[in-house]
Amino acid sequence: MPAADHHPHGHAMRYTADCYRGMRNDVTRTEAYRKAIAAAAPGKVVLDVGTGALALLAIFAAEAGARHVYALEGQPSAAAAARAAVASANLDHRITVLEAFSTDLALELPERAELLVHELIGEVAGEEGACAAILDAMRRHVADAARPPLSVPSRASTLLAPCLAPDPDLLAKAAGAGRALKLDARSQAGRPLAPPQVCEDLRFDEGSPSPSQRRELLFCCEAAGVLAALNLHVELRCGADAADGPPDVSSAWDGSHWRIICIRLERPASVARGQRVKVRVDAALAGQLPSYTFSAALVSDDGTLTSLGAPLEYPVGSLTVNDAMDQMSFSW
């Protein structure tokens, strides 16, 4: 699968064994999923969308007492590894691994599910197609009589903050000359000039994440400096009782397997404390290729906007593969 294929299928086909181990070894994330699945799965038919080579969430559901688990995996080698993992756990009588994407039109489960489990969350929450996949699964794979909680996780959000430029030494080591970077630690991504705000919010708890989202965010800089980047990180809430509470998982925390996305602005600008910055984010998540547009501007005292560059389209023209590299650059 070409590296430039940003469709959800393209993401799935590029996952490696290191990717799956990295997700499993993210202890905070893994334990949050385990706890939420243990509470939601007993007695239910569960559908694991994108089970991966370890079939980790499917095994959690079976161990929690799910009546049966259907685990879907579109990458052939990962599906074979998932079957081996299920057999090794002596759960092949409780878990059926199917080599398929949940959105395949020909896919028909032996029975409809009552609970979805998935980890389709990218460094920008919806970039791996979670919204379209969950809406499709609700129509075709989930029983009409199913009742909330319908999904683990229950909610995923992307947060954005205006920031200083990343460390120059880090930029010098990054390949290429792209305007967006994946960074493995928030400390490397440039100091925020204002607290982050939510720019994308996907509610999975009732199976109806919004496929079209627009946010206009207004920030007030808390320090002077050169505004040079927008930092994006994700937050995840796993359990039904956590959907409106503090996050269970954040890519801003140490040990996260997710990266921080740092978008460098086309026109960096010096800002004073109290300077206002407006960022508009448009997310179109219903189609086969989730897409985002980011635009930023300074706001003067009289409300005049000064653009900080042309709108940035994401991920078109950007390498967004979630692999084992610590950092990579994208070309816009």
pLDDT of 175 reads: 38
In a domain, 44, yes or no: yes
Give the integer Cα–Cα distance in Å for 120 and 29.
13
pLDDT in tens, 3-13: 556 666 655 65
In a domain, 1, yes or no: no
Task: Please tell me whether residues 167 and 96 are part of one structural domain.
Answer: no
pLDDT of 169 reads: 66
pLDDT of 325 reads: 34
Task: Please tell me whether residues 233 and 306 are part of one structural domain.
Answer: yes
Q: Which of 152, 169, 201 is the last residue of a domain?
A: 152
pLDDT of 37 reads: 98
pLDDT of 322 reads: 35
Task: Please tell me whether residues 106 and 201 are part of one structural domain.
Answer: no
Q: What's the Cα-to-Cα distance from 25 to each of 20, 48, 54, 128, 240, rounded to whole Å?
A: 9, 19, 12, 20, 23
Nearest of 121, 168, 165, 178 to residue 328 by alpha carbon = 178
pLDDT of 321 reads: 36
pLDDT of 82 reads: 97
In a domain, 83, yes or no: yes
pLDDT of 1 reads: 41
Q: Which of 99, 123, 152 is the last residue of a domain?
A: 152
Task: Please tell me whether residues 166 and 227 are part of one structural domain.
Answer: yes
pTM of the model: 0.90
pLDDT of 328 reads: 34
pLDDT of 326 reads: 33
Which segments in the chain show pLDDT lower than 70? 1-18, 20, 168-178, 184-189, 316-332
**Structural domain count of the chain:** 2
Q: Which of 122, 152, 182 is the last residue of a domain?
A: 152
Containing structural domain, residue 144: 8-152
Task: Please tell me whether residues 312 and 203 are part of one structural domain.
Answer: yes
pLDDT of 180 reads: 72
